[in-house]
Amino acid sequence: MRVVTWNLWWRFGPWAERQKAILAVLRDLRPDVVGLQEVWADRRTGENLAEWLAAELDLHCAWAASPAPERWRRRISDDSVDIGNAVLSRWPVTDQAVLRLPAPPDLDDGRLALYARLDAPGAPVPFFTTHLTSPLHASATRRQQVTSLAEFVAAHRDSTPHPPIVTGDFNAWPDSDEIRLFGGTRTSPAVPGQVFFDAWEYAAQGTPGATWTPENPYVHPGLGPGVRVDYIHVGAPAGPDGEGTVRGVRRAGHGPVDGVWPSDHAAVVADLQGAE
């Protein structure tokens, strides 16, 4: 099973040209399931980036719009464009649910977690994608968010031997309190007994892992050094027949396509053992 997570940078920058580059990267990857963040939908025209990508790639689609997009819209001066998360899947989506992540009023811009239950061969896959709050100083808020996220996962992970897969832009460094809390292997987990492996830790030693880096022209160099903030977390342990075991992991979309960088984030790609 090939899993991808990618923040698509909403309607910022040369978004129409970037749309084509995003499709080219995903078409080359041939993923089974994709978690997407900062996905746009234009209520004026009826266009939806996730639905367009799904149609082009012959995948199923689940989409959830932010309930509070006003701060985002002010940045592009367009009240007709929604922002949200999406899941693209080779297999039908048989159930879905949305969690609005907690945040104080001064940081609340409608961040979500989206759950999609995938009717994969062998066993259903409980799949999640999320987008945590971004300010550098907001670790305390992200800790609250990963606690809510972990509880959301716990409420939807049962009735299948396949471990949950949680993807997204966590806006947090790998050694941060919030990532350790969600993973639960280096400190007590947010939900007792529920732990996750960070798929990137299966990468070859020394493999570049930064998904947010100043070498990308859309990233302001004053925002800090390159860092990995995008994750594929897989529930541990693996399923009874090895479901969810990480076989390989790498970046994608971390360079221009026909002269255009697809997003301000690189994608993370993990190959997992599926259910037989």
Amino acid at 212: W
Structural domain that includes position 266: 2-272
Average pLDDT over residues 229-234: 98
Number of domains present in the structure of the chain: 1
Query: What's the chain's length in residues?
Result: 276
DSSP 103: -
Q: Say whether pLDDT at 276 is over 60.
A: no
Residue 63 pairs with which residues in a beta bridge?
Answer: 86
Average pLDDT for the chain:
96
Contact 174, 237 (CB under 8 A): no
Q: What is the pLDDT of residues 115-142, one digit of tens each?
A: 999 999 989 999 999 999 999 999 999 9
Least confident of 142-151, 161-170, 215-224: 215-224
Q: Say whether pLDDT at 275 is over 70.
A: no
pLDDT cut 70: percent of the chain above it = 99
d(CA 188, CA 139): 17
Average pLDDT over residues 73-84: 96
Average pLDDT over residues 143-169: 97
Instruction: Please give the helix or strand (H or E) that residue 51 lies within, else none.
Output: helix 49-57
Q: What is the pLDDT of residues 6-20, one digit of tens each?
A: 999 999 999 999 999
Taking the model in full, what pTM does it have?
0.97
Q: Say whether pLDDT at 258 is over 90.
A: yes
Q: What is the pLDDT of residue 206?
A: 76
Q: Say whether pLDDT at 24 is over 60.
A: yes
Average pLDDT over residues 224-239: 95
Got the DSSP string for 131-157?
E----TT-HHHHHHHHHHHHHHHHHH-
Q: What is the pLDDT of residue 267?
A: 98
pLDDT cut 90: percent of the chain above it = 93
Average pLDDT over residues 80-90: 98
69 Cβ neighbours under 8 A, 6+ residues apart: 81, 82, 83, 109, 110
d(CA 198, CA 244): 12
Q: Say whether pLDDT at 145 is over 70.
A: yes
Q: Say whether pLDDT at 61 is over 60.
A: yes
DSSP 90: S
Q: What is the pLDDT of residue 220?
A: 87
Q: Say whether pLDDT at 238 is over 70.
A: yes
Q: Say whether pLDDT at 218 is over 60.
A: yes
Q: Say whether pLDDT at 165 is over 60.
A: yes
* Residue 96 binned pLDDT confidence (cut-offs 50, 70, 90): very high
Average pLDDT over residues 245-260: 96
Tokens 């830790």, residue?
Answer: 201
Query: Which CATH number do you get for residue 222?
Result: 3.60.10.10
